[in-house]
Structure 1
Amino acid sequence: MAAGSTESALQAADLRGTDRPQEPGPFTILAALWRVLRPELRVHRKEVLQDLGLALAAGVSGLAGPYLMYLFLRAALRDDAVAPVPALALGAVASYAIYAVLRSVHNNHALKTAEAIILTLKLRLVRAVMRKPLAFLDAARQAQLTAMLATDLDKLATKLRQNAGPMLTAALLGVGILLALIALDWRLGLLVAGLSLVYLVGVLSIHRATVRADWVDSEADTRQQHILRDMLDGARDIRLYQIQHLHEARFADSAETVRQRDVRLHETPVWGWNPLVDFIAAMILLGPVLMGAWLHVRPDITVPLELVPAVLTYAALMASNLRSFSRGLQAIGFLGHALDRLETVIAYPEEPPQTPPALDTMPDDQTLRLVGVGQRYGSRKILDSFDLAVAPGERIALTGPSGTGKTTLANLILRLEEPDTGCVMLGGQPAQRFPLPLYLSYFAHVGHHTHLFHTSVHDNIAMGWRHVPFADIERAARLVRLHDTIQRLPQGYDSVIGADDLHLSQGQRQRLALARALIREPAVLVLDEFTSALDSETKAGLLDDLFAAFPGTTMICMTHDAQVMARMDRVVTLESGGALQSDEASAETCSEEDEPPQVTQHLDDMKATLRLPADAAALEPLAQWVETCAERGLIPAEMVFHVNLVLDELVSNTITHGHWEGAGATAIDIALERADRAVTLTVQDDGAPFDPTRVDPVDTDAPLEQRAVGGLGLHFVRSFMNDVVYHRNDGRNRLTLTRRLD
């Protein structure tokens, strides 16, 4: 990612969940702060109310001091005592002492409240991020979301910690001071109120300008951090190629940009407000004294002289609180981008909650099929009408040049991505039919790029499943030939990955990830170049152990390794666009008398026939035969997908369910005939009696979670064909399907 493009990566990935304000200012940022923290404020409303109560108590005690001082002076100068003079003096001193204590208590309590609010926000953000679609997480990783959120949360926590309490006390005390001044003398009170208003208008103008400058130049710090991180990550290559001076100059340019931004941000006067605000702050102190003295000497207006010290004290408190409020407002003004990004993460839609799995939603078996799958990234087509069937317990290798879609196929099978066209099916049902937790419970995955968590070896393996006994963890480690290596670590299975310079080799990391996958005892194991870092001897032994320990597990291996391919039942070679180049038969040999029927076919201008063995290996020749029929003009182009899906469904049903009286279907015969107005398919097999025309229709209008399991494939058969007729003669099923061309 280019330097300084964290913000642009979010925009490019279309992750923005809120509208960016055109004219950012203190009030728009306060509104954003309210939106972000509203759930946390509700959770901690008791603590917030306690903060408010302490702030009010501090304000009342702060207001009492100057008023008691006024009464004390009136008693001393005019002999007009409302209480004993010592009591008034002691009361004034006590009020200031109580004010200092309450303000300190309030600030400490506000600090704890702010930290509790930030903790709750952190937990909510982590929960939200973990429930976002993978498309968000992929784009967010490109935008370095983890570091960005950590920085934003730290910035928010720092500003709230330093300013939340003082700002709240300052606002409440400021309102109280104005009311007290007006009660003492409305003219002096109005003067202080007017000066305070001018002061606030000035500081708001200054803060609005600095917020705008910070908003416009926000990428300067991000660019500097990115370059520094890039240099540290690439330190070895920098040293190897002796290009330190180039990267030092690169960092110097970014640092100079930050310096210029800071100068513009903090030193430039805004519309003349900077000196005027300082002058108004001084006048809040001097103005009441001058006005009080002037009113005192006028013969027609009576203002007692002893009132002036009390008003001056109130004015001093007012000036102090205005400065405190201004500092807090300025600090919050720099949270614009942090709050904007946090709102983006919060507002991005989460994945809908998954319904708990029920027994009636279990797949019929572990047959895995990809039907007409198409996938593209932008303008690049990765897969196009890709079909694949994997029988339970089958071991297949998917190979082909880079970019032909092997990893994409793994992601589609694991539902880390959804296909643009076609569907993935498990046990004869679309994958979306099953709740995601139920579907994924059948699978485990080991990828080429292995991620190990910064925790113990024990926990890294145990993350593959829930509540795993240690004996199972040790068994999985032995299975991947890693137990002895782990025992030699400083703390054995309790050794923390990445701590105390504990780093595993790439081969050890791959085997540890495989142990994590095997702890699940999965029905389907998806392996993506899982042996790329292993030597030949370790690889051979690992495969021996793997096949021996999991004889019934379906294995789908994306690999370029000839040694791995030689151990698989079947090898599927991918070409560009996901086309199948070859589908090699099982490496196992059969005796003469047990040899299954061979694939035979015949094509002429108007008719084609195909004979298939009733096993999963027949599905690939079937797809190739349909494609050949289309090339010969026997199937119109617009019908190819439908014919492929219909035949795939019928043949798969025969292979999977054609068993009866201890025997099963051995051969499937298919005939296709093209007439002027119709295409006729005839499918015959010697399996168990089965009439698809008697299967109850699927209620496709019902909500997905309320539909019965099964029947969707046959629904496709009946939907895509105009006529479906079933007969059973001489121990064979015969299904005739007609699709009209008009």
Structure 2
Amino acid sequence: MTRRKRPTTLPEALPGLGRILRRFWPYLRKHLLLIAGAMLALFASIGARLLEPWPLKFVIDRVVVDAPAGGASGWAWVDGLDPMTLLTYAALAMLLIVAARGVGSYLSTISFALVGNKVLTEVREDLYRHLQRLSLGFHHKAKTGDLTIRIIGDIGMLKETTVTAILPLLANVLVLGGMVGIMLWLNWQLALIALLPMPLLWLTSVKVGRRIQEVSRKQRQREGAMASTAAESMTAIRDIQALSLEKTFEKAFTSESRKSLKEGVKAKRLAAGLERTVDVLIGLSSALVLWFGARLVLAGALTPGDLIVFLAYLKNIFRPIREFAKYTGRLAKATAAGERVVDLLEQTAEIQDLPNARPAPPFVGAVQFDQVSFAYEPGQPVLNQIDLCVAPGERVAVVGPSGMGKSTLVSLLLRLHDPREGRVLVDGVDIREYRLDSLRAQISIVLSDSLLFAASVRDNIGYGAPDASTEQIERAARLANAHAFITALPNGYDTLLGERGVTLSSGQRQRIAIARAALRRGPILILDEPTSGLDRDNERAVIEALENLSRGRTVLMITHDLELAARADRILYLEAGGLSEQGAHAELLGRGGRYAALFRARAEQPRPSPVPETSNAVES
């Protein structure tokens, strides 16, 4: 996965924020009405906050001090009220203002939270959908745990930050603008004195914020590394325990966890130091305003109520910077999280439908590889100039040494990869002319370790054809020699399987996979080491199921089991990226080539019998 250079300064971060907003704009556009309502509620809340100290100003000027400096307040309707009436009105106004602020704040918070949750839920769904369609080349390089963190953790952090950081900061910045404007209107000289610490506050916040941002990004990377280690170890827990690797993985996980802790503590320490610096500078500003403001009141240039408004505003005027100090770490993490999400969304699938791709018609099953070459890495060919024609209904076995491109060959037929040179054709048409979903829907596949999901047996079989009826599922299970052991399970077809089917033996898992392939009814069947690791009894049951499954289909079977390969109509010997031999079993033995030598060598060796697996299921 291509890594972008992460910004280390605030100006560098702004393009990243702009990039996130541009990428999320199509999602936001769907909710413009709700956003407009949220903004109206926010403005109402801000207006109430600006008005909050004014009832107190009028009480101080017209009730407590009896008459304002200069003889009149400049508010004719205020000067015309007797003190007790003004006091009553001021008390009611304060109550209404606080209520309006509370209602506006509540509505804006709820509305923005609703927008954030809707938008980011859609982003998460699109991100998951996008990951499902990215090519195998991407997934081979990516770490599963890190991808999981991006789908769950990064999106979750964006959701939280929308409400707990971005909204308060937006409100406080608007409040700052309003309060500065009113202070300049009341007395511009005192307003400038009040704002003297502002440049120093901003420079300090930017400097420390940059360090917090970098530390937060490193912490997020540590969390992704921890998730990758945890996902890898949980997926391979059987091998880890068998090889006594628990301490090795514990050490790797603990190392990343301690580094994450260190980065987290550092970020908190920086944020706490910034907050205290802000508090000190706010105290300095308040002292200056109090000293100069009191002198202006004594000189008659300012009313006591105006000074009260100044001091009240001063508590809030630096709040955006204080909040910046408080939420810098969270915002930095959110920015990093957003960039990680956008990075994934901007990944382009190597394998995708061409602009003029069309749905594939029902296949007859003729398969052709026309001068096909392929390499995972430039200069390291896996397949070289493969020419192969498979007739409809023909069963072809592909054998040869490990790592010679056998699995790669069939993956090209599924368009998991595209050839670097040449074409793969079905019924005489390049498969790239068909839509991926319509191509793969007509190809059934059984792997050596077929994936079963943490769902019922019925659902696991039904994934082969989501619209299949109960009768069709049971018919497929019978064809796969699986019906007997399934009905012996505690809840039959409704028995829930453990993750990856761990509650079943290898033979049972394989027969459920065969039933799934049978249900798909694709005219082309791919078998990739379908009997690998099975004991004799399970192998016989699986081979019988495969014979049932193969009838009337074009079969490409990869296998190291030469006895199984001998059942095929034709055998291909793949070596060094090319087809060195091909023909029927008896024909190849008669030639005395590489296949014959391998077959005789295997025949002279005693065949090991894998130890039958124990499981919680009843083996048939």
Q: TM-score, normalised by structure 2?
A: 0.82
Letter in 1 for 2:386: F
Report what 1:69 is aligned to: 56
User: Counterparts of 1:327 and 1:275 in 2: how far apart (Å)?
Assistant: 10
Q: Secondary structure of 1:467's partner? A: coil
Q: What's the CA shift string for 1:439-498, capped at 9, x where partnerless?
A: 334311112232223333222222222411111111111111222322233443233332
Partner residue in 1 for 2:409: 409
Residue 331 of structure 2 is matched in structure 1 by 332
Mapping of 1:10-159 within 5 angstroms? 10-11=1-2, 16=3, 20-21=6-7, 23=9, 27-76=14-63, 77-79=65-67, 81-82=78-79, 83=81, 84-85=85-86, 86-141=88-143, 144-159=146-161
- Find out whether 1:317 has 2:316 as its counterpart: yes
| Residue segments in structure 2 that go unaligned for 5+ positions in a row | 73-77, 592-620
CA apart distance, 1:36: 3.9
Cα 1:267–1:37 change in 2 (3 A) is: same
Displacement of 1:198 in angstroms is: 3.8
Name the structure 2 match of 1:202: 204
User: In the alignment, is the contact (CA less than 8 A) between 2:212 and 2:328 conserved in 1?
Assistant: no
Specify which structure has the higher proportion of helix.
Answer: 2
- 1:377 alignment partner in structure 2: 376
Q: How many angstroms apart in 2 are the aligned matches of 1:579 and 1:573?
A: 6
Aligned mates of 2:267, 2:175 — CA distance in 1 = 30
C-alpha distance after superposition, 1:4-51 (max 9, x if no partner): xxxxxx23xxxx5x6644646553453344234322221222222222
d(CA) in 2 for partners of 1:235 and 1:521? 35
CA gap of 1:55–1:269, structure 2 versus 1, over 3 A, is: closer
* Residues 524 and 555, structure 1, Cα contact 8 Å, conserved in 2: yes
The aligned runs of 1:582-621 (5 Å cut-off) are 582-584=582-584
Corresponding residue SS for 1:503: coil
The code of the aligned residue for 1:453 comes to F
What does residue 174 of structure 2 align with? 172
TM-superposed deviation, 1:393: 0.8
Q: Does 1:290 align with 2:277?
A: no
Partner deviation per Cα, 1:331-373 (whole Å, 9 max, x = no partner) = 2122343222212111122434665746xx7488422111222
Matched position secondary structure for 1:556? strand
Q: Give the letter for the 1:285 counterpart.
A: S
**Contact 2:441/2:522 (CA < 8 Å) preserved in 1?**
yes
Shift of 1:60: 1.0
> For 1:415, what is the secondary structure of its paired residue?
coil
Q: Kindly provide the amino acid, as one letter, of the partner of residue 318 in structure 1.
A: I
* 1-structure distance, mates of 2:564, 2:417: 26
TM-superposed CA distance for 1:217, in Å, is 6.5
* Identity %, equivalent residues: 25
Question: Matches of 2:271 and 2:114 in 1, distance apart?
Answer: 36
Does residue 1:573 correspond to 2:569, yes or no? no
User: For the residues of structure 2 that align with 1:413 and 1:524, how far apart are their CA atoms?
Assistant: 10
Which residues in structure 2 correspond to 1:664-679 (within 5 Å)? Answer: none
Structure 1 Cα separation of the partners of residues 237 and 363 of structure 2? 54
- AA aligned to 1:337 is A
Tell me how far 1:67 sits from its aligned partner: 1.5
C-alpha change, 1:215 and 1:460, in structure 2 (3 Å) is: same
Of 182-191 and 87-96, deviating more is 182-191
Contact 2:393–2:554 (CA<8 Å) still a contact in 1? yes
Q: Which amino acid aligns with 1:180?
A: I
Q: Structure 1 stretch 372-381 or stretch 257-266: which is displaced more?
A: 257-266
Residue 89 to residue 336, structure 1, CA distance change in 2 (3 Å): closer
Whether the aligned pair in 1 keeps the contact of 2:20 and 2:342 (CA below 8 Å) is: no
The structural deviation recorded for 1:139 is 2.8
C-alpha offsets along residues 383-414 of structure 1, whole Å, 9 cap, x if unaligned? 22222221111112111111121101110122
Q: Residues 116 and 433 from structure 1, CA distance in 2 versus in 1: closer, same or farther, beyond 3 angstroms? A: closer
Residue 95 of structure 1, CA deviation? 1.1
Q: Secondary structure at the match of 1:62?
A: helix
Counterparts of 1:248-267 in structure 2, within 5 Å, are 250-267=252-269
| Pairing 1:190–2:192 present | yes
- Write out per-residue CA displacement over residues 545-575 of structure 1, whole angstroms, 9 at most, x where no aligned residue: 5445653211111111233223222222222
Kindly tell me: are residues 97 and 323 of structure 1, through their superposed partners in 2, closer, same or farther at Cα, counting changes over 3 Å?
farther
Three-state SS of the structure 2 residue aligned to 1:190 is: helix
Counterpart secondary structure, 1:450: coil
Task: Report the Cα offset of residue 231 of structure 1.
Answer: 5.8
Q: Retained in 1: the 8 A contact 2:219–2:264?
A: no
Paired residues of 2:399 and 2:406 also in contact (CA < 8 A): yes
> Residue type of the partner of 1:93?
L
Partner AA of 1:508 in structure 2: Q
Contact 2:514 2:549 in 1 (8 A): no
1:476–1:519 Cα contact (<8 Å) kept: yes
Please list every run of 5 or more consecutive structure 1 residues that lacks an aligned counterpart in the other structure.
1-9, 588-598, 600-742
Q: What residue is the counterpart of 1:485 in the other structure?
A: 485
Q: Kindly provide the amino acid, as one letter, of the partner of residue 489 in structure 2.
A: L
Q: Distance in 2 between matches of 1:368 and 1:484?
A: 35
Mark the CA change 1:499 to 1:554 in structure 2 (over 3 Å): closer, same or farther: closer
Q: Deviations over 1:266-304 (max 9, x none)?
A: 43599x977643322223433322221122234xx6111
Residue in structure 1 matched with residue 603 of structure 2 by the alignment: none
Q: Given the two structures, how large is their TM-score scaled by the length of structure 1?
A: 0.70
Give the Cα–Cα distance (whole angstroms) in 2 for the partners of residues 462 and 75 of structure 1: 81
Q: Provide the secondary structure at the position in 2 that maps to 1:573.
A: strand
Cα distance in 1 for partners of 2:103, 2:252 equals 52
Q: For 1:198 and 1:471, how far apart are their aligned partners in 2? A: 76
**1:630-657, CA deviations, whole angstroms, 9 ceiling, x for partnerless residues?**
xxxxxxxxxxxxxxxxxxxxxxxxxxxx
By how many angstroms is 1:121 displaced? 1.3
Aligned-residue offset at 1:52:
1.0
Give secondary structure in 1 for the equivalent of 2:556. strand
- How far off its partner does 1:143 sit? 7.0
Between the aligned partners of 1:577 and 1:30, the Cα distance in structure 2 is 47
Q: Does the C-alpha gap of structure 1 residues 385 and 363 become closer, same or farther in structure 2, counting only changes over 3 Å?
A: farther
For 1:530, what is the secondary structure of its paired residue? coil
The secondary structure found in structure 1 opposite 2:52 is helix
2:596 is aligned to none
User: How many residues end up aligned between the 2 structures?
Assistant: 571
Query: Residue 283 of structure 2 aligns to a residue in which SS?
Result: helix
The within-5 A match list for 1:278-677 is 278-298=279-299, 302-350=301-349, 351-352=352-353, 357=358, 362=361, 365-378=364-377, 379-498=379-498, 503-548=503-548, 551-584=551-584
Superposed CA deviations along residues 296-347 of structure 1, whole A, max 9, x for unmatched, are 234xx61112321222112123244542344334421223432222121111
Instruction: Decide whether the 8 Å contact of 2:220 with 2:333 is kept in 1.
Output: no
Structure-2 separation of matches of 1:562 and 1:184? 95
SS in 1 for 2:403: coil
**What is the CA distance between 1:219 and its match in structure 2?**
3.9
Q: 2:160 is aligned with what amino acid?
A: T
Task: Specify the code of the residue in structure 1 equivalent to 2:477.
Answer: A
**Deviation of residue 207 (structure 1)?**
0.7
Kept in 1, the 8 Å contact 2:399–2:571? The answer is yes
Distance 1:255 1:66, change over 3 A: same
Summarize the Cα distance change of 1:337–1:586 in structure 2 as closer, same or farther, 3 Å threshold.
farther
Provide closer, same or farther for how the CA distance between residues 109 and 441 of structure 1 changes in structure 2, counting only shifts above 3 A. Answer: closer
* Structure-2 change in CA distance of 1:243 and 1:445 (3 Å): closer
Preserved contact between residue 284 and residue 316 of structure 1 (Cα < 8 Å): no
Return the alpha-carbon distance in structure 1 between the equivalents of residues 14 and 528 of structure 2: 52
CA contact (8 A) 2:124 2:151 kept: no
Distance 1:585 1:110, change over 3 A: same
Asked which structure has the greater CA Rg, the reply is 1
Superposed CA deviations along residues 507-540 of structure 1, whole A, max 9, x for unmatched, are 2222222221111211110110112244434444
Q: Which amino acid aligns with 1:506?
A: S
* Aligned equivalents of 1:426, 1:42: Cα separation in 2: 43
Q: Equivalent residue for 1:710?
A: none
> Does the aligned pair in 2 maintain the 1:41–1:117 contact within 8 Å?
yes
Partner of 1:277: 278
Native 8 Å contact 1:110 1:165 kept in 2: yes
Q: Which residue of 2 aligns with 1:636?
A: none
CA offset at residue 229 of structure 1?
5.3
